[in-house]
Amino acid sequence: LTSREAKEEDTVVHVGDVRIGSGEFVVMAGPCSVESEEQLLESAYIVRKGGGRILRGGAFKPRTSPYSFQGMEEDGLKLLAKAREKTGLPVVTEIVNPEDLDLVEAYTDILQVGARNVQNFALLKKIGRSRKPVLLKRGMMTTIEELLMSAEYILSAGNDQVILCERGIRTFETATRNTLDISAVPVLKELTHLPVIIDPSHATGHWKYVIPLSRAALAVGADGVIVEMHPQPEKAFCDGAQSLTPEKFYELMEELKTMEYVL
Ligand code: PEP
Ligand code: MN
């Protein structure tokens, strides 16, 4: 169902008035995790002011260490809904546990499946029965074929509103957190009709590389990017090193606008 043979024309994922996969380059931005009302609302206003179309923020955080901040859970979801109410921006947040589907669905506009859950088949089957759009991240060790098979789980359960996301894979290189597989974009575009976006924040682990790789995402034909931005990255509960400051976020948006004009 994910293949071009099954469906030739591009799938457009509808989220409010945002059309992902329609030719418009969509920027999703926000903090790694929801930390407080003040932090999230401030982030949301910055995203909207800069021209971002979707607010991101994790309420359930699948952290490498059990001792790291695990997220605000339902309180975080409520804050995301509040931020949407205040700014009109649709929100995307991660679902970690299949049992939380009703809860997460009640608050979010897009269900995010994280890199670590790309082959959590129970979760994929469950969200396949949902009518909410899904942002499916490639795992750090999944091949493109495996990513497409994971998407197939969701489509075959009845949900065709799936956005694929390349967020870096594990290689021998240690200069960046992961290695952005930019070639995944044209390869996926050939194999599937689903929209493809890039996450340069988790791919590199460093804010400095987020702007150049966002430019690369636009140039290579991705349908958008999802980037981490924090009002005060040095105070972030997680992923501060890869989070853009508001100023850098505005700079990113200006650069993308200029590039879109040229392309
Ligand atoms: C995230 O987007 O906050 C996240 C945890 O990303 P990933 O699943 O790609 O590591
Ligand atoms: Mn993060």
How confident is the model over 246-262, as pLDDT tens digits? 999 999 999 999 999 88
Q: Which two tokens stand for residue 112?
A: 């995010």
Q: Which two tokens stand for residue 162?
A: 């799936």
Q: What percent of the chain has pLDDT over 70?
A: 100
The per-residue pLDDT for range 53-97, each reduced to its tens digit, is: 999 999 999 999 999 999 999 999 999 999 999 999 999 999 999
The per-residue pLDDT for range 108-123, each reduced to its tens digit, is: 999 999 999 999 999 9
Counting every residue written for the chain, the total comes to 263
**Residue 76 falls inside a structural domain:** yes
pLDDT at 70: 94
Atom of ligand 1 nearest to the CA of 168: 9
Strand 54-56 with 91-94, pairing: parallel
At what angle are helices 144-156 and 121-128 packed, to 10 degrees? Answer: 40
Q: Which two tokens stand for residue 19?
A: 């059309």
Q: Which domain holds residue 72?
A: 13-262
pLDDT at 24: 95
**Residue 4 falls inside a structural domain:** no
pLDDT at 263: 81
pLDDT at 246: 98
**Residue 8 falls inside a structural domain:** no
Name the domain count of the chain.
Answer: 1
pLDDT at 108: 98
pLDDT at 59: 98
Listed residue (117, 91, 122) closest to 105, CA to CA: 91
Atom of ligand 1 nearest to the CA of 115: 8
The per-residue pLDDT for range 135-165, each reduced to its tens digit, is: 999 999 999 999 999 999 999 999 999 999 9
**Residue 7 falls inside a structural domain:** no
Q: List the end-to-end C-alpha distance of the chain, in Å, as a whole number.
A: 31
**Residue 2 falls inside a structural domain:** no
Task: Give this prediction's pTM.
Answer: 0.97
Listed residue (59, 69, 136) closest to 100, CA to CA: 59
The per-residue pLDDT for range 217-238, each reduced to its tens digit, is: 999 999 999 999 999 999 999 9
In angstroms, the Cα distances linking 148 to 87, 145, 181 are 34, 5, 15
pLDDT at 261: 87
- Which ligand is in closest contact with the Cα of 167? 1
Burial class of residue 154 (count of CB atoms within 10 Å of its CB; 0-12, 13-18, 19+):
buried
Decide: 60 and 74 in contact? Cβ < 8 Å: no
- Give the distance (Å) from ligand 1 centre to CA of residue 163: 14
Q: In a 3-state reduction of DSSP, which class is residue 27?
A: strand
pLDDT at 149: 98
- Give the distance (Å) from ligand 2 centre to CA of residue 238: 7
Looking at residue 179, which CATH number applies to its domain? 3.20.20.70
**Residue 5 falls inside a structural domain:** no
Distance CA 77, CA 61 (A): 12
Confidence of residue 12 (pLDDT cuts 50, 70, 90): very high
User: What's the whole-number average pLDDT of the chain?
Assistant: 97
Decide: 203 and 238 in contact? Cβ < 8 Å: no
Ligand 1 pocket member 138 (CB < 6 A): no
Task: Please tell me the residue having the least CA distance from ligand 1 atom 3.
Answer: 32
**Residue 203 falls inside a structural domain:** yes
Ligand 1 pocket member 115 (CB < 6 A): yes
Atom of ligand 1 nearest to the CA of 238: 3
- Which ligand is in closest contact with the Cα of 110? 1
Distance CA 34, CA 74 (A): 11
Rg, Å, the chain Cα set: 17
* Ligand 1 pocket mutation pick from 167, 179, 201 by most atoms within 8 angstroms of CB: 167
**Residue 6 falls inside a structural domain:** no
Ligand 1 pocket member 202 (CB < 6 A): yes
Ligand 1 pocket member 30 (CB < 6 A): no
pLDDT at 262: 84
Atom of ligand 1 nearest to the CA of 165: 9
